[in-house]
Chain A
Protein backbone atom coordinates (compact mmCIF):
# COMPACT_ATOMS: atom_id res chain seq x y z
CA UNK A 1 0.00 0.00 0.00
CA UNK A 2 1.33 3.39 -0.97
CA UNK A 3 2.13 5.81 1.76
CA UNK A 4 3.13 9.44 1.52
CA UNK A 5 6.20 10.11 3.66
CA UNK A 6 6.05 12.89 6.25
CA UNK A 7 9.47 14.36 6.96
CA UNK A 8 10.33 16.29 10.05
CA UNK A 9 12.57 19.31 9.74
CA UNK A 10 13.02 21.27 12.92
CA UNK A 11 9.68 22.53 14.06
CA UNK A 12 8.12 21.84 10.66
CA UNK A 13 6.71 18.84 8.89
CA UNK A 14 7.34 18.42 5.18
CA UNK A 15 4.99 16.51 2.93
CA UNK A 16 5.79 16.14 -0.75
CA UNK A 17 3.01 14.65 -2.77
CA UNK A 18 4.54 13.09 -5.86
CA UNK A 19 1.78 10.76 -6.97
CA UNK A 20 -1.77 11.46 -7.95
CA UNK A 21 -3.80 11.33 -4.79
CA UNK A 22 -6.63 8.90 -4.77
CA UNK A 23 -9.23 9.12 -2.07
CA UNK A 24 -7.91 6.46 0.31
CA UNK A 25 -4.36 7.78 0.07
CA UNK A 26 -5.56 11.29 0.87
CA UNK A 27 -7.56 10.08 3.86
CA UNK A 28 -4.53 8.16 5.17
CA UNK A 29 -2.36 11.23 4.71
CA UNK A 30 -4.83 13.30 6.68
CA UNK A 31 -4.83 10.82 9.57
CA UNK A 32 -1.04 10.32 9.55
CA UNK A 33 -0.32 14.00 9.38
CA UNK A 34 -2.54 14.89 12.32
CA UNK A 35 -0.96 12.08 14.35
CA UNK A 36 2.48 13.36 13.41
CA UNK A 37 1.68 16.95 14.32
CA UNK A 38 0.49 15.80 17.68
CA UNK A 39 3.50 13.51 18.27
CA UNK A 40 6.24 15.93 17.21
CA UNK A 41 4.51 19.06 18.45
CA UNK A 42 5.21 20.67 15.09
CA UNK A 43 4.60 24.35 14.57
CA UNK A 44 4.11 24.26 10.85
CA UNK A 45 3.16 21.92 8.02
CA UNK A 46 4.46 22.40 4.48
CA UNK A 47 2.59 20.52 1.77
CA UNK A 48 4.29 20.53 -1.62
CA UNK A 49 1.83 19.80 -4.41
CA UNK A 50 3.97 20.95 -7.34
CA UNK A 51 3.81 17.47 -8.87
CA UNK A 52 0.05 17.18 -8.57
CA UNK A 53 -1.68 17.89 -11.85
CA UNK A 54 -5.19 16.64 -11.11
CA UNK A 55 -7.42 17.69 -8.24
CA UNK A 56 -11.07 17.17 -7.46
CA UNK A 57 -13.34 18.65 -4.86
CA UNK A 58 -12.48 15.84 -2.46
CA UNK A 59 -8.77 16.66 -2.67
CA UNK A 60 -9.55 20.31 -2.06
CA UNK A 61 -11.58 19.40 0.98
CA UNK A 62 -8.84 17.16 2.37
CA UNK A 63 -6.31 20.00 2.11
CA UNK A 64 -8.76 22.33 3.83
CA UNK A 65 -9.36 19.69 6.52
CA UNK A 66 -5.64 19.21 7.14
CA UNK A 67 -5.24 22.97 7.55
CA UNK A 68 -8.13 23.25 10.01
CA UNK A 69 -7.01 20.23 12.04
CA UNK A 70 -3.42 21.47 12.21
CA UNK A 71 -4.70 24.87 13.24
CA UNK A 72 -6.51 23.30 16.19
CA UNK A 73 -3.26 21.57 17.13
CA UNK A 74 -1.47 24.95 16.89
CA UNK A 75 0.36 24.37 13.63
CA UNK A 76 0.07 26.54 10.49
CA UNK A 77 -0.33 24.90 7.09
CA UNK A 78 1.30 26.23 3.94
CA UNK A 79 0.54 24.71 0.54
CA UNK A 80 3.37 25.35 -1.89
CA UNK A 81 3.92 25.06 -5.62
CA UNK A 82 0.36 24.76 -6.85
CA UNK A 83 0.14 24.40 -10.64
CA UNK A 84 -1.85 27.08 -12.52
CA UNK A 85 -4.28 24.48 -13.87
CA UNK A 86 -4.87 23.16 -10.37
CA UNK A 87 -5.50 26.66 -9.02
CA UNK A 88 -8.00 27.39 -11.78
CA UNK A 89 -9.76 24.06 -11.18
CA UNK A 90 -10.10 24.69 -7.45
CA UNK A 91 -11.52 28.17 -8.10
CA UNK A 92 -13.98 26.82 -10.65
CA UNK A 93 -15.01 24.18 -8.13
CA UNK A 94 -15.69 27.00 -5.67
CA UNK A 95 -12.92 25.98 -3.27
CA UNK A 96 -10.74 29.03 -2.59
CA UNK A 97 -9.13 27.13 0.36
CA UNK A 98 -9.80 29.80 2.94
CA UNK A 99 -7.58 29.43 5.99
CA UNK A 100 -4.81 27.75 4.02
CA UNK A 101 -1.64 29.73 3.44
CA UNK A 102 -0.05 29.37 0.02
CA UNK A 103 3.38 30.01 -1.38
CA UNK A 104 5.07 29.83 -4.75
CA UNK A 105 7.84 27.45 -3.80
CA UNK A 106 9.33 25.55 -0.87
CA UNK A 107 11.80 28.30 0.04
CA UNK A 108 9.18 31.03 0.18
CA UNK A 109 6.85 28.71 2.06
CA UNK A 110 9.52 28.02 4.64
CA UNK A 111 10.18 31.74 5.08
CA UNK A 112 6.46 32.39 5.44
CA UNK A 113 6.15 29.73 8.14
CA UNK A 114 9.19 31.07 9.96
CA UNK A 115 7.85 34.61 9.93
CA UNK A 116 4.46 33.42 11.18
CA UNK A 117 6.03 31.47 14.02
CA UNK A 118 8.29 34.40 14.92
CA UNK A 119 5.23 36.60 15.14
CA UNK A 120 3.37 34.23 17.41
CA UNK A 121 6.46 33.81 19.60
CA UNK A 122 6.88 37.56 19.81
CA UNK A 123 3.26 37.86 20.82
CA UNK A 124 3.88 35.22 23.45
CA UNK A 125 6.93 37.11 24.68
CA UNK A 126 4.98 40.30 24.87
CA UNK A 127 2.26 38.56 26.82
CA UNK A 128 4.92 37.23 29.13
CA UNK A 129 6.42 40.66 29.82
CA UNK A 130 2.99 42.11 30.32
CA UNK A 131 2.25 39.35 32.83
CA UNK A 132 5.57 39.92 34.54
CA UNK A 133 4.85 43.61 34.74
CA UNK A 134 1.52 42.98 36.37
CA UNK A 135 3.07 40.46 38.73
CA UNK A 136 5.61 43.01 39.84
Chain B
Protein backbone atom coordinates (compact mmCIF):
# COMPACT_ATOMS: atom_id res chain seq x y z
CA UNK B 1 0.00 0.00 0.00
CA UNK B 2 2.76 2.38 0.93
CA UNK B 3 4.20 1.96 -2.57
CA UNK B 4 1.06 3.57 -3.79
CA UNK B 5 1.40 6.54 -1.50
CA UNK B 6 4.88 7.60 -2.42
CA UNK B 7 4.08 7.08 -6.10
CA UNK B 8 0.98 9.12 -5.58
CA UNK B 9 2.93 11.92 -3.92
CA UNK B 10 5.42 11.90 -6.79
CA UNK B 11 2.66 12.20 -9.36
CA UNK B 12 0.82 14.85 -7.47
CA UNK B 13 3.88 16.97 -6.72
CA UNK B 14 2.55 19.93 -8.64
CA UNK B 15 -0.78 19.77 -6.86
CA UNK B 16 0.85 19.59 -3.46
CA UNK B 17 3.10 22.54 -4.23
CA UNK B 18 0.15 24.66 -5.35
CA UNK B 19 -1.86 23.73 -2.30
CA UNK B 20 1.09 24.36 -0.04
CA UNK B 21 1.74 27.78 -1.57
CA UNK B 22 -1.91 28.60 -1.20
CA UNK B 23 -1.82 27.60 2.45
CA UNK B 24 1.29 29.62 3.08
CA UNK B 25 0.01 32.71 1.30
CA UNK B 26 -3.32 32.49 3.08
CA UNK B 27 -1.61 32.37 6.46
CA UNK B 28 -2.03 35.60 8.42
CA UNK B 29 1.50 35.34 9.72
CA UNK B 30 3.02 35.56 6.24
CA UNK B 31 6.08 37.78 6.44
CA UNK B 32 6.24 39.53 3.11
CA UNK B 33 8.62 42.05 4.66
CA UNK B 34 11.21 39.34 5.32
CA UNK B 35 10.84 37.09 2.30
CA UNK B 36 9.40 37.69 -1.16
CA UNK B 37 6.73 35.39 -2.58
CA UNK B 38 9.01 34.30 -5.40
CA UNK B 39 11.72 33.36 -2.96
CA UNK B 40 9.21 31.50 -0.82
CA UNK B 41 8.01 29.59 -3.86
CA UNK B 42 11.52 28.59 -4.90
CA UNK B 43 12.33 27.48 -1.36
CA UNK B 44 9.16 25.44 -1.19
CA UNK B 45 9.75 23.92 -4.61
CA UNK B 46 13.30 22.93 -3.73
CA UNK B 47 12.16 21.24 -0.55
CA UNK B 48 9.26 19.39 -2.12
CA UNK B 49 11.38 18.20 -5.05
CA UNK B 50 13.93 16.78 -2.64
CA UNK B 51 11.18 15.30 -0.52
CA UNK B 52 9.24 13.40 -3.17
CA UNK B 53 12.36 12.68 -5.21
CA UNK B 54 13.87 10.72 -2.35
CA UNK B 55 10.75 8.92 -1.28
CA UNK B 56 10.64 5.17 -1.78
CA UNK B 57 8.74 2.35 -0.21
CA UNK B 58 11.70 1.36 1.99
CA UNK B 59 12.39 4.68 3.60
CA UNK B 60 8.86 5.91 3.76
CA UNK B 61 8.49 4.66 7.30
CA UNK B 62 12.14 4.77 8.30
CA UNK B 63 13.32 8.30 8.99
CA UNK B 64 16.88 7.20 9.81
CA UNK B 65 17.51 6.11 6.21
CA UNK B 66 20.31 7.85 4.32
CA UNK B 67 17.94 9.01 1.60
CA UNK B 68 16.55 11.56 4.02
CA UNK B 69 19.80 13.44 4.50
CA UNK B 70 19.41 15.75 1.42
CA UNK B 71 15.92 16.68 2.59
CA UNK B 72 17.18 17.36 6.12
CA UNK B 73 20.01 19.41 4.70
CA UNK B 74 17.71 21.62 2.62
CA UNK B 75 15.27 22.02 5.48
CA UNK B 76 18.12 22.84 7.88
CA UNK B 77 19.42 25.46 5.48
CA UNK B 78 15.99 27.08 5.25
CA UNK B 79 15.51 27.00 9.03
CA UNK B 80 18.91 28.58 9.69
CA UNK B 81 18.33 31.37 7.16
CA UNK B 82 14.97 32.03 8.75
CA UNK B 83 16.50 32.20 12.23
CA UNK B 84 18.99 34.76 10.97
CA UNK B 85 16.34 36.75 9.11
CA UNK B 86 14.37 37.07 12.34
CA UNK B 87 11.38 34.81 11.71
CA UNK B 88 9.50 33.75 14.82
CA UNK B 89 9.43 30.04 15.75
CA UNK B 90 5.71 29.91 14.93
CA UNK B 91 6.28 31.23 11.40
CA UNK B 92 9.08 28.77 10.79
CA UNK B 93 7.00 25.92 12.16
CA UNK B 94 4.05 26.84 9.98
CA UNK B 95 6.26 26.45 6.92
CA UNK B 96 6.46 22.68 7.55
CA UNK B 97 3.00 22.28 9.03
CA UNK B 98 1.33 23.82 6.02
CA UNK B 99 3.16 21.28 3.84
CA UNK B 100 1.65 18.51 5.96
CA UNK B 101 -1.78 20.03 5.50
CA UNK B 102 -1.26 20.10 1.75
CA UNK B 103 -0.09 16.49 1.52
CA UNK B 104 -2.94 15.26 3.70
CA UNK B 105 -5.41 17.15 1.59
CA UNK B 106 -4.11 15.57 -1.60
CA UNK B 107 -4.22 12.13 0.03
CA UNK B 108 -7.80 12.75 1.03
CA UNK B 109 -8.72 13.66 -2.52
CA UNK B 110 -6.99 10.63 -4.02
CA UNK B 111 -7.89 7.85 -1.63
CA UNK B 112 -11.62 8.13 -1.50
CA UNK B 113 -12.75 4.53 -1.58
CA UNK B 114 -11.05 3.09 1.51
CA UNK B 115 -11.03 5.02 4.82
CA UNK B 116 -8.75 2.42 6.50
CA UNK B 117 -6.03 2.93 3.90
CA UNK B 118 -6.46 6.68 4.08
CA UNK B 119 -6.06 6.56 7.85
CA UNK B 120 -2.94 4.40 7.71
CA UNK B 121 -1.30 6.46 5.00
CA UNK B 122 -2.13 9.66 6.81
CA UNK B 123 -0.51 8.31 9.93
CA UNK B 124 2.69 7.56 8.02
CA UNK B 125 2.74 10.98 6.42
CA UNK B 126 2.13 12.51 9.83
CA UNK B 127 5.04 10.64 11.32
CA UNK B 128 7.41 11.75 8.56
CA UNK B 129 6.28 15.35 8.69
CA UNK B 130 6.60 15.42 12.49
CA UNK B 131 10.20 14.25 12.18
CA UNK B 132 10.80 17.02 9.65
CA UNK B 133 9.30 19.57 12.05
CA UNK B 134 11.61 18.43 14.81
CA UNK B 135 14.58 18.86 12.45
CA UNK B 136 13.33 22.33 11.53
CA UNK B 137 13.07 23.40 15.13
CA UNK B 138 16.41 21.94 16.07
CA UNK B 139 18.20 23.82 13.33
CA UNK B 140 16.15 26.95 13.92
CA UNK B 141 17.19 27.05 17.56
CA UNK B 142 20.77 26.24 16.62
CA UNK B 143 20.72 29.20 14.24
CA UNK B 144 19.38 31.44 16.99
CA UNK B 145 22.03 30.21 19.41
CA UNK B 146 24.73 30.99 16.87
CA UNK B 147 23.42 34.54 16.63
CA UNK B 148 23.47 34.88 20.43
CA UNK B 149 26.96 33.41 20.66
CA UNK B 150 28.25 35.81 18.03
CA UNK B 151 26.72 38.74 19.86
CA UNK B 152 28.25 37.64 23.16
CA UNK B 153 31.65 37.43 21.49
CA UNK B 154 31.22 40.86 19.99
CA UNK B 155 30.21 42.35 23.32
CA UNK B 156 33.26 40.94 25.10
CA UNK B 157 35.42 42.03 22.20
CA UNK B 158 34.28 45.64 22.08
CA UNK B 159 33.67 46.11 25.78
CA UNK B 160 37.32 46.13 26.81
CA UNK B 161 39.17 48.67 24.72
CA UNK B 162 42.57 49.78 25.94
CA UNK B 163 43.03 53.48 25.22
CA UNK B 164 46.33 55.23 25.03
CA UNK B 165 45.59 58.58 26.70
CA UNK B 166 49.17 59.80 26.81
CA UNK B 167 52.60 58.59 25.92
CA UNK B 168 53.17 56.00 28.62
CA UNK B 169 49.68 56.17 30.09
CA UNK B 170 46.96 53.67 29.25
CA UNK B 171 43.31 53.87 30.25
CA UNK B 172 40.84 51.02 30.32
CA UNK B 173 37.20 51.93 30.91
CA UNK B 174 35.25 48.92 32.16
CA UNK B 175 31.53 48.93 31.37
CA UNK B 176 29.21 46.27 32.71
CA UNK B 177 29.57 43.63 35.37
CA UNK B 178 33.00 42.15 35.97
CA UNK B 179 33.02 38.37 36.14
CA UNK B 180 35.95 35.97 36.07
CA UNK B 181 35.90 35.49 32.30
CA UNK B 182 35.81 39.23 31.61
CA UNK B 183 38.51 39.97 34.16
CA UNK B 184 40.69 37.47 32.38
CA UNK B 185 40.14 39.24 29.05
CA UNK B 186 40.61 42.68 30.60
CA UNK B 187 43.81 41.56 32.28
CA UNK B 188 45.22 39.94 29.15
CA UNK B 189 44.39 42.94 26.95
CA UNK B 190 45.83 45.39 29.43
CA UNK B 191 49.06 43.48 30.04
CA UNK B 192 49.56 42.90 26.32
CA UNK B 193 49.08 46.57 25.62
CA UNK B 194 51.48 47.53 28.42
CA UNK B 195 54.16 45.37 26.81
CA UNK B 196 53.46 46.72 23.32
CA UNK B 197 53.45 50.39 24.25
CA UNK B 198 55.93 50.24 27.09
CA UNK B 199 53.53 52.21 29.26
CA UNK B 200 54.36 52.62 32.91
CA UNK B 201 50.92 53.67 34.16
CA UNK B 202 47.54 52.06 33.58
CA UNK B 203 44.26 53.61 34.70
CA UNK B 204 41.36 51.24 35.32
CA UNK B 205 38.14 53.24 35.18
CA UNK B 206 35.20 51.52 36.84
CA UNK B 207 32.55 54.24 36.48
CA UNK B 208 30.61 51.88 34.22
CA UNK B 209 30.61 48.99 36.67
CA UNK B 210 27.14 48.87 38.25
CA UNK B 211 28.10 47.14 41.48
CA UNK B 212 31.22 46.03 43.25
CA UNK B 213 31.01 43.00 45.50
CA UNK B 214 33.86 41.10 47.12
CA UNK B 215 34.36 38.96 44.02
CA UNK B 216 34.60 41.94 41.69
CA UNK B 217 36.95 43.65 44.12
CA UNK B 218 39.12 40.55 44.18
CA UNK B 219 39.24 40.59 40.38
CA UNK B 220 40.29 44.23 40.44
CA UNK B 221 43.01 43.54 43.01
CA UNK B 222 44.26 40.67 40.83
CA UNK B 223 44.48 42.93 37.79
CA UNK B 224 46.32 45.60 39.75
CA UNK B 225 48.79 43.05 41.17
CA UNK B 226 49.45 41.58 37.73
CA UNK B 227 50.12 45.05 36.32
CA UNK B 228 52.48 45.69 39.17
CA UNK B 229 54.34 42.45 38.45
CA UNK B 230 54.87 43.64 34.90
CA UNK B 231 56.55 46.74 36.26
CA UNK B 232 53.77 49.22 35.63
CA UNK B 233 51.58 51.09 38.08
CA UNK B 234 47.82 50.64 38.12
CA UNK B 235 45.35 53.27 39.29
CA UNK B 236 41.66 52.58 39.82
CA UNK B 237 39.44 55.55 39.02
CA UNK B 238 35.75 56.30 38.72
CA UNK B 239 34.76 55.02 42.13
CA UNK B 240 31.28 56.27 42.95
CA UNK B 241 30.24 57.07 46.53
CA UNK B 242 27.92 54.04 46.66
CA UNK B 243 30.76 51.79 45.58
CA UNK B 244 33.05 53.28 48.22
CA UNK B 245 30.35 52.56 50.77
CA UNK B 246 29.88 48.92 49.76
CA UNK B 247 33.62 48.32 49.60
CA UNK B 248 34.09 49.55 53.15
CA UNK B 249 31.01 47.74 54.43
CA UNK B 250 32.25 44.50 52.91
CA UNK B 251 35.57 45.03 54.62
CA UNK B 252 37.61 44.92 51.40
CA UNK B 253 41.08 46.32 51.82
CA UNK B 254 42.02 48.57 48.92
CA UNK B 255 44.66 50.47 50.87
CA UNK B 256 47.61 49.21 48.76
CA UNK B 257 45.90 50.34 45.58
CA UNK B 258 45.93 53.87 44.31
CA UNK B 259 42.31 54.93 43.92
CA UNK B 260 40.96 58.16 42.47
CA UNK B 261 37.42 59.46 42.19
CA UNK B 262 37.56 60.47 38.53
CA UNK B 263 39.56 59.68 35.44
CA UNK B 264 40.70 63.29 35.40
CA UNK B 265 42.27 63.09 38.84
CA UNK B 266 43.88 59.77 37.93
CA UNK B 267 45.38 61.42 34.85
CA UNK B 268 46.57 64.37 36.93
CA UNK B 269 48.21 61.93 39.35
CA UNK B 270 49.89 60.11 36.45
CA UNK B 271 51.28 63.39 35.14
CA UNK B 272 52.70 64.08 38.57
CA UNK B 273 54.35 60.68 38.73
CA UNK B 274 55.81 61.13 35.24
CA UNK B 275 56.88 64.66 36.14
CA UNK B 276 54.74 66.21 33.45
CA UNK B 277 52.90 69.49 33.75
CA UNK B 278 49.86 70.81 31.94
CA UNK B 279 49.55 74.57 31.91
CA UNK B 280 47.65 77.27 30.15
CA UNK B 281 49.60 79.21 27.55
CA UNK B 282 49.07 82.82 26.54
CA UNK B 283 46.53 85.18 28.04
CA UNK B 284 43.99 85.57 25.25
CA UNK B 285 41.69 82.64 24.94
CA UNK B 286 38.20 82.09 23.63
CA UNK B 287 37.41 79.69 26.41
Residue positions of A touching B, CB distance < 8 A: 79-84, 86-88, 90-92, 96-97, 102-105, 108-109
Contact = CB atoms under 8 A, between A and B. Distances in A.
16 contacts: A80-B231, A84-B195, A86-B229, A87-B226, A87-B229, A88-B188, A88-B191, A88-B226, A91-B225, A96-B228, A96-B229, A102-B229, A102-B230, A104-B198, A104-B232, A108-B200
Nearest to B232: A104
Given A88-B226, A104-B231, 13 more contacts: A82-B229, A84-B191, A84-B194, A84-B195, A86-B229, A88-B187, A91-B229, A96-B229, A102-B228, A103-B231, A104-B230, A105-B231, A108-B231
B192 interface: yes
Interface string B163-190: 0000000000000000000001001100
B168 to A, nearest CB: 10
A92 B199 CA distance: 23
Interface in B192-207: 192, 194-195, 198-200
A37 to B, nearest CB: 21
A91 B191 CA distance: 13
A108 B228 CA distance: 14
Interface residues of B, number: 19
Contact of A87 (B184, B191, B199): B191
A111 B227 CA distance: 19
Interface in B221-260: 222, 225-232
A90 B232 contact: no
A67 to B, nearest CB: 13
Interface of B: 184, 187-188, 191-192, 194-195, 198-200, 222, 225-232
A88, A90, A105, A109 — which one has the most chain B CB atoms within 10 A of its CB? A88
A78 to B, nearest CB: 8
Contacts of B226: 84, 87-88, 90-91
A82 B228 CA distance: 10
Nearest to A96: B225
Contact of B198 (A87, A92, A105): A105
Contacts of A103: 231
Contacts of B200: 104, 108
A30 B188 CA distance: 30
A108 to B, nearest CB: 7
Q: Which 8 A-B pairs have the closest CB atoms?
A: A84-B191, A103-B231, A102-B231, A87-B229, A96-B225, A104-B231, A87-B226, A91-B226
B257 to A, nearest CB: 12
Nearest to B190: A84
A83 B192 CA distance: 9
Nearest to A78: B231
B225 A82 contact: no
A46 to B, nearest CB: 12
A68 to B, nearest CB: 17
Contacts of A88: 184, 187-188, 191, 226
Contacts of B192: 84
Contacts of A80: 231
A82 B187 contact: no
A97 B188 CA distance: 19
Contacts of B232: 104
